[in-house]
Amino acid sequence: MSNGDGGIDIIGNYKHYVLLVQCKDLTKQVSVGEIRSFLKIIKDYPKDTLGVFVISKKNGYSTPSIECAESAKNEGTNILLTNIYTIQKDIEEYELNDESFLIIKKIEEKFEEKFEDQDKKINEKINEKMEELQKKAIIRDKIIICLLFVIIILIIILILY
């Protein structure tokens, strides 16, 4: 029975996105055709839409269906393939595909690169200073040993004379 919603079971709102949920209780794996049909429905909605395809068993997606969803996600469609066991975690961890998110992600990557470079430079400086301090400590220890040797010789001379 269809009422013109394309088989969508739940329509809601999530993080200012239209949330479309399609649930399937299948005995076989989800085919690429079912994912393509779902993608057509998602494209009828605004760009800020997250389509969630939920099935009743773990590992219930065929390899072509997973590849189809990943390809659509890479092209900017927000689609999540999940199951009833991990749906909440999967939705919470899902990274929405939108321009502001992608800009923020690029900025974060640039900062990470800068911080890694700065961290590397700081570690190099610290290592240089540590080597310098170790060399100074070795010289200091040699001087102390020499002074102790001189003191021992002076004590022996004083005792003998």
Per-residue pLDDT, 151 = 94
Q: What angle do CA 16, 17, 20 make, to 5 degrees?
A: 145
- Residue bearing tokens 């595909």: 97
CB distance 42 to 79 below 8 Å: yes
Over 60: is that where the pLDDT of 1 sits? no
Place 2 in a pLDDT band, splitting at 50, 70 and 90: very low
Over 60: is that where the pLDDT of 78 sits? yes
Q: What is the mean pLDDT of residues 116-144?
A: 92
For 19, list phi and psi in degrees, rounded to 5. -110, 120
Tell whether pTM > 0.75. Answer: no
Residues of the chain with pLDDT > 90: what percent?
58
Over 70: is that where the pLDDT of 99 sits? no
Place 114 in a pLDDT band, splitting at 50, 70 and 90: confident
Could you give the CA distance from residue 111 to residue 77 in angstroms, rounded to a whole number?
A: 27
